[in-house]
Structure 1
Amino acid sequence: MFNSLVEAKRFIEEKRIQMVDFMMIDLNGRWRHLTIPVDRFTEDTFKNGIGFDGSNYGFAPVEKSDMVFIPDLSTSYVDPFMEIPTLAMIGDVYVIDVPNNRPFDQDPRNVAKHAENYLMESGIADEMKIGPEYEFHVFDHVSYSTAPNESSYYIDTEQAEWNKEDRDFNLGYKMPHKGGYHMAPPQDVLYDFRSRVCMLMEKQGIRVKYHHHEVGGPGQLEIEVEFGSVTEMADKTMMTKYLIKNEAIAEGKTATFMPKPIFDEAGNGMHVHMQLFKGGEPLFYDKDGYSQLSQEALYFMGGILRHIRALCAFTNPSTNSFKRLVPGYEAPVTIGFATANRSSVIRVPAYAKDPDKKRFEIRNPDGTCNPYYAFSAILMAGCDGIKNKIDPVAEGYGPYDINLYNLTEEEKKKIKSLPRTLDEALDALEEDHAFLTEGGVFPEKLIEIWLINKRAETKKHSLMPTPMEFDMYYDL
């Protein structure tokens, strides 16, 4: 938004801004923030930064936890949800050093910037452009408990099929089970909500492609956006989640990007479309190639497919992620590519025919990821594919232009599978991460911390009895 502090100060005065809010991204991909009165916003803020405890962000041990963040003026925006006029911007994390502080190599934004620099320095391409699809649920109520003597959750939404027999207040129009795709009002009671969110996104420079109701009947929605660079789209992913969640709360509802909040309904993915450009020219197009894809596109795809089990540790980093990656819900389970095939982990959209639009999408990521790490990891895997000329056809990854959910048991054995649990994904990352550390993009320390933290999550999850286990085993 701004190129200098002078521009920012002029805007602050014109709009009568009273507070400046700094937003940072922690290790797991959650927003953190700190706010100062506007008269404290000076040159010193950019020279020396603002100190904070990095250990609470998951970045540093307690004994070495002093860090600073320095705001990025280009990310500035007026927060639409604050009562007091507030200018907000993202802060980059720095390690305290003498004579000058230095960027922290594990900071999510710094990893993304390093990945983009690696791409340019490699000579492969000048830019990777990506376009995420945001799937999420909006509910009217959510409650949950994980006490020692109780484990339960309860969610509800007015439009869900399970409310069709409600005799207290019911107008009869309910969204069918797994039948919400592109449904219209009156079943689609969240149409105006999506439009309001999209207008908020547009005001923040996030260009919306379209919005619609998704397959999941109980309040599953999708917003798709136009393409941008890796760091830019990671910023915009974080902003989109912020706008959706806060607008939902403002309207007395609640939004979640949890991959599988409802049993036996479609889950929430975050498909990522991608392209490479060099000298302004698209690298993924070849009119004579498979589905009009160039050899570079196939190599890039080959790298992703070879490393995809390890990628899942960053693109699907929750135990709940793998409850979505099961057959029958348009989520991938096998490792392969195809055209116009939503059962494939990599899909080539048949409708993208022009050279500058030729692309493919990876369909396994979900909204629990830290987008900076996830997008960067995908980029690094693709670069490894081009550097080592990993041909997905020669590697046996397809093309599989068939329904991969309907394979026989014998056919399934011939095709590699995505991890079935987060533990499997973490094992794969532990064994296969050299492609991530190329050029120092992903520090070894970051991968070490990620593995430790995520294994602690899986252990915590595995120790907790579930209501389903009571249903299945209580009477044995």
Structure 2
Amino acid sequence: MLSKLNEVQDFCKKNAIKMIDFKMIDISGRWRHVTIPVDRLNEDVMKYGIGFDGSNYGYAKVEKSDMVFIPDLSSAQIDPFVQTPTLTMIGNVLVIDPDGNKPFDQYPRNVALRAEEYMRETKIADSMIISPEFEFYVLEHVSYECSPNAVAFTLDTSQAEWNSGVNDYNNSGYHIPLKSGYHITPPHDITFDLRSKMCLLLEDWGVKVKYHHHEVGGPGQLEIEVELGNMTEMADKTMVIKYVVKNAAVAENKTATFLPKPIFNEAGNGMHVHMLLMKEGKPVFYDENGYSGLSQEAHWFMGGLLKHASSLCALTNPSTNSFKRLVPGYEAPVTIGYATSNRSAVIRIPAYAKSPEAKRFELRNPDATCNPYYAYAAILMAGIDGILNKIDPHENGWGPYDFNLYHLSEEEQKKLTSLPKSLDEALDALEADNEYLTRGGVFPKELLDRWIRIKRAEAEAINRIPHPAEFAHYYDL
């Protein structure tokens, strides 16, 4: 790992690097970038940064929108997807101030770093360790149109069951039935080699891969799971993973999407987040005598997540499409509750994680349309609130639900509390419940207000568009 400017400069000479690429994060969670010739990387860049107009990144306006990007040299990696030898790195954003530049408090990475600082200030823990699971579809074709006279999308992959009768090409006959792709092998699994390439690229980038496999969705749903890591570091790696997956797919003339529900009636793409806390090198969440081996602090942390689950959805599931995934019948959670080895509850405690250092639970509702820095920071802040206020999930009636919640009678299901059913509902919840996020100056109020306005506008625009299913149901009335 490089840490000093002279080390980076020497590395560039040895590897014939021609360009330096800086990647910044906009409010939605997309990478943007600006590039300089390698000779321009000098002490001035490290001291004064690269200037840019932050108003184009979607953040709430500050006194002046001029900002500077300061690179984090330790994040430097050779970008494997560009022809010109290029070293790429992330970093932090500062606001230009006469008395000295200061961190821009709305910038996603700064929010995550501040959340970790706040956690340490509370003395609850020194670090939050997380591991997201990345689900996505790899397809061979996608097109979409949203115009006044046509609203449609089409996607395809040769392994899909709907291609079993196609005679336009040499059909192999190996197709994966509906929701039957879990751990399927070649020749059905046509993306096996591509996933391996993705994982090797991630390893080269410093992302440790746990495993990869075909997921439940027959038309090309895949999963890559990574090893546990510190929260902000894992937010950085989440950006890397999405970048590598998408570009590796394009390099193979395919396309990858993390859209939560791209295919009707098929399994959706989640981003389950496993989490644990460490303090002075010891696990905070372990207690051999606690329910499922979890400590009282772990239960309080879960209580905070469950109390704020609805408002969290506005940050962990911030797209209209997110709520097409959070429906019964697809191993996606809909009920605010916790349990061991139960995929129908929002919080699942893996039975296989038995050692003190591995004892954890996972939050199952997030998806990868989130800005990972905001989502992970919000999860941490909700959990801290649970510990500070000793919110016990069992006492509040949130479980444990050690049975399949989908099999309850209609009458019993009415007694359960459910996640929001739309982005609008989640935004309403965030508007009413956000004090836990603003503590310690972690989430600036103007950032949350801006986020709500942006997402309400997105939801309103999408909700106004006629849907093809409406034609199928109502055209002849």
Question: Could you tell me the TM-score, scaled by structure 1's length?
Answer: 0.99
SS in 2 for 1:472: helix
Deviates more, 1:60-69 or 1:426-435: 60-69
Q: CA–CA distance in 2 between the matches of 1:347 and 1:91?
A: 34
Partner of 2:328: 327
Q: Deviations over 1:65-92 (max 9, x none)?
A: 2211111111111000110100000131
SS in 2 for 1:355: coil
User: After superposition, where does 1:185-334 map in structure 2 within 5 Å?
Assistant: 185-334=186-335
Contact 2:76 2:87 in 1 (8 A): yes
Query: Which consecutive unaligned segments of at least 5 residues does structure 1 have?
Result: none
Deviates more, 1:31-40 or 1:57-66: 57-66
Deviates more, 1:84-93 or 1:55-64: 55-64
Contact 2:60 2:447 in 1 (8 A): no
Partner of 1:123: 123
Query: Which consecutive unaligned segments of at least 5 residues does structure 2 have?
Result: none
Contact 2:211 2:224 in 1 (8 A): yes
Partner of 1:441: 442
1:168 and 2:168 correspond:
yes
Q: CA–CA distance in 2 between the matches of 1:145 and 1:177?
A: 26
Equivalent AA in structure 2 for residue 242 of structure 1 = Y
Equivalent AA in structure 1 for residue 8 of structure 2 = A
Equivalent AA in structure 1 for residue 285 of structure 2 = F
1:374 and 2:375 correspond:
yes
Q: How many residues are treated as equivalent by the alignment?
A: 476
SS in 1 for 2:439: helix
Contact 1:337 1:346 in 2 (8 A): yes
Please report how far the alpha carbon of residue 232 of structure 1 lies from its aligned counterpart in structure 2 after TM superposition.
0.2
Please report how far the alpha carbon of residue 445 of structure 1 lies from its aligned counterpart in structure 2 after TM superposition.
0.6
SS in 2 for 1:439: helix
Partner of 2:43: 43
Q: Deviations over 1:29-76 (max 9, x none)?
A: 001000000111111111111111111100244983221111111111
Question: Could you tell me the TM-score, scaled by structure 2's length?
Answer: 0.99
Deviates more, 1:93-102 or 1:24-33: 93-102
1:26 and 2:26 correspond:
yes
Partner of 2:420: 419
Contact 1:54 1:60 in 2 (8 A): no
Partner of 2:153: 153
Partner of 2:460: 459
Partner of 1:113: 113
Deviates more, 1:338-347 or 1:1-10: 1-10
Please report how far the alpha carbon of residue 99 of structure 1 lies from its aligned counterpart in structure 2 after TM superposition.
3.0
Please report how far the alpha carbon of residue 412 of structure 1 lies from its aligned counterpart in structure 2 after TM superposition.
1.5
Contact 2:60 2:446 in 1 (8 A): no
Contact 1:23 1:89 in 2 (8 A): yes
Q: CA–CA distance in 2 between the matches of 1:91 and 1:350?
A: 38
Please report how far the alpha carbon of residue 2 of structure 1 lies from its aligned counterpart in structure 2 after TM superposition.
1.7
Equivalent AA in structure 2 for residue 101 of structure 1 = N
Percent same amino acid among aligned pairs? Answer: 65
Q: CA–CA distance in 2 between the matches of 1:24 and 1:328?
A: 38
Partner of 2:404: 403
Q: Deviations over 1:376-418 (max 9, x none)?
A: 0000000000000000000100000111112222111211100
Contact 1:25 1:31 in 2 (8 A): yes
Please report how far the alpha carbon of residue 121 of structure 1 lies from its aligned counterpart in structure 2 after TM superposition.
0.9
Q: CA–CA distance in 2 between the matches of 1:49 and 1:311?
A: 34
SS in 2 for 1:318: coil
Equivalent AA in structure 2 for residue 299 of structure 1 = W
Contact 1:316 1:366 in 2 (8 A): yes
Q: CA–CA distance in 2 between the matches of 1:95 and 1:447?
A: 19
Runs of 4+ in 1 over 3 A off after TM superposition: 60-64
CA RMSD of aligned residues (A): 0.9
Contact 2:269 2:367 in 1 (8 A): yes
Contact 2:160 2:177 in 1 (8 A): yes
SS in 1 for 2:183: coil
Deviates more, 1:447-456 or 1:406-415: 406-415
